[in-house]
Amino acid sequence: MVAFTGGGGKTTAILGLSRELRGRGWRVLASTTTKVGLTLARELPIVCAQGDAEALVERALDADGAVFLASGPAPEEKLAGVAPGVLDSLASAALADVVLVEADGSRQRPIKAPADHEPVVPARAAIVSFMAGIDAVGAILDGPLVHRPELVRRFGSGPVVTPELIAALASSEHGGLKGVPDGAAARPILNKVTIGTRDSALTAAAGILDRAGTAVDRVLVTDVRGGEFLFLTRRD
């Protein structure tokens, strides 16, 4: 099970992984513990179930290979998520080869810090990837690119988003490391990287590794939509 938190491309990452892994013959169960937009229904069959979802999910995976599980429709053209315990049970049942979970909400903004009730990560998550959009570097904290700016402000002293702020946010137990289950790998993703923002992304990634110590063994620097990936790993 892989859980995605933060902002800056969680749904895009889940859809891209679903396509790639399904293409390799994997059975993929995607879901959310919060809410997601209905637009993902264009790419994944939707299973709506409450309570015991195992039989419905198994039939859907047999038919399509990759499905998205929700508990039903939600306001604002969204799908409501399922309880983390339901996803833990489905993971235990091994119906799918991988479970991909959107475990946080960011109102489609690239930078966010978690509130007290966030993120909602299932206990069986083996990897938790906190995401941040590097396109927010230079943006003012109180502007449209930052979700929960009053919380993000705790990680930096200036009025704008910087690579150093992103590093502090992603590497903190009150930020990107919040909710990571014991024994799970924390692997942040810096997304929306372009040629012009590559240096900022690499600075942020190196800062995450320096600050997080052994809690983070690698950072992915990427443009998920474009399919380009670079790993920075810890030098032991």
pLDDT of residue 49: 86
Domain of 55, CATH number, reads 3.40.50
pLDDT of residue 76: 85
Mean pLDDT over 105-124 rounds to 96
Residue 231: which pLDDT band, with cuts at 50, 70 and 90? confident
φ, ψ at 34 (rounded to 5°): -125, -110
Mean pLDDT over 197-215 rounds to 96
Residue 227: which pLDDT band, with cuts at 50, 70 and 90? confident
Mean pLDDT value across the chain: 94
Q: Indicate the burial class of 42 (C-beta count within 10 angstroms; 0-12, 13-18, 19 or more).
A: exposed
pLDDT of residue 40: 83
Of 228 and 190, the structure prediction assigns the larger pLDDT to 190
Paired with 221 in beta bridges are 190, 230
Mean pLDDT over 77-105 rounds to 95
pLDDT of residue 137: 97
Is residue 9's pLDDT more than 80? Answer: yes
Is residue 236's pLDDT more than 70? Answer: no
CA distances for 74 relative to 13, 23, 53, 69, 79, angstroms: 22, 30, 18, 13, 5
pLDDT of residue 176: 98
Domains identified in the chain, total number: 1
pLDDT digits (tens, 9 = 90+) for 32-79: 999 998 888 889 999 998 767 899 999 999 999 999 999 998 888 899
Quickly list DSSP for the chain.
Answer: -EEEEESSSHHHHHHHHHHHHHHTT--EEEEESSEEEGGGGGTS-EEE--S--HHHHHHHHHHHSEEEEESEEETTTEEE---HHHHHHHHHHT-SSEEEEE----TT-SEE---TT-----TT-SEEEEEEEGGGTT-BTTSTTEESHHHHGGG-SSSB--HHHHHHHHT-TTTTTTTPPTTPEE--EEES--TTTHHHHHHHHHHHHHHHGGGBSEEEEEETTTTEEEEEE---
Which domain does 222 fall in, by range? 2-233
Mean pLDDT over 132-156 rounds to 96
Predicted TM-score (pTM) of the model is 0.96
pLDDT of residue 222: 95
Residue 209: which pLDDT band, with cuts at 50, 70 and 90? very high
